[in-house]
Amino acid sequence: MPDSPVLYVLNGPNLNLLGVREPEIYGRETLADVQALCERTAAGATVVFRQTNHEGELIDWVQEAREKADALVINPAGYGHTSVALLDALKTLTVPIVECHLSNPAARERFRHRTYVSAIAAGVVSGFGPMSYELAVKAALGLVQERSLSEDRSH
């Protein structure tokens, strides 16, 4: 495991409204609460936590993660269901990608049942509210550790 792994946690459109609108679906915790939860969960790792409402900015950050991150957790929000461009950017990463959703999109409208991201993610965590992020962060750091152990063994 790198001494202090760098974990990018990227959030797509409208997640800035968390805790403010539609609490029956997305709960009462804010994105700042989710960020604090990720930072607590990833103690010892560096967490780069960001949200954007703009597809191009999200793609720029994925490209940045390609250079700087040891793993990526992404809640692509609506872009997960629509964006081939985001998928193309994610495909360029060699580090583990964990997809994360607050709600369980498979239990919602049909158009939410598929995301482009899940085709290339190491795994998907959905339906547990903010705890989805906690589980996703643990999974991502677990994968980083697994990789570095298998790299050590091959040297």
Q: Which residues of the chain form contacts with ligand CA2 (CB under 6 A)?
A: 14-15, 17-18, 21-22, 26, 75, 77-78, 101-103, 105, 112
Nearer of residues 5 and 102 to ligand CA2, judged by Cβ: 102
What is the smallest separation between the CB atom of 134 and ligand CA2, expressed in angstroms? 14
Nearer of residues 14 and 63 to ligand CA2, judged by Cβ: 14
From 79, 101, 116, 133, the catalytic residue? 101
Nearer of residues 71 and 101 to ligand CA2, judged by Cβ: 101
Distance CA 69, CA 38 (A): 15
Nearest to 10 by CA among 123, 133, 113: 133
What is the smallest separation between the CB atom of 151 and ligand CA2, expressed in angstroms? 32
Is there a contact between 83 and 114 (Cβ–Cβ < 8 Å)?
A: no
What is the smallest separation between the CB atom of 153 and ligand CA2, expressed in angstroms? 36
Residue 79 annotated to the active site: no
The DSSP element (H or E) to which 39 belongs, if any, is helix 31-41
20 contact partners, CB below 8 Å, separation of at least 6: 30
Residue 101 annotated to the active site: yes
Q: How far apart are the first and last CA of the chain?
A: 14
Query: 3-state DSSP call for residue 116?
Result: coil
From 26, 79, 116, 133, the catalytic residue? 26
Q: Which residues are tagged catalytic?
A: 26, 101
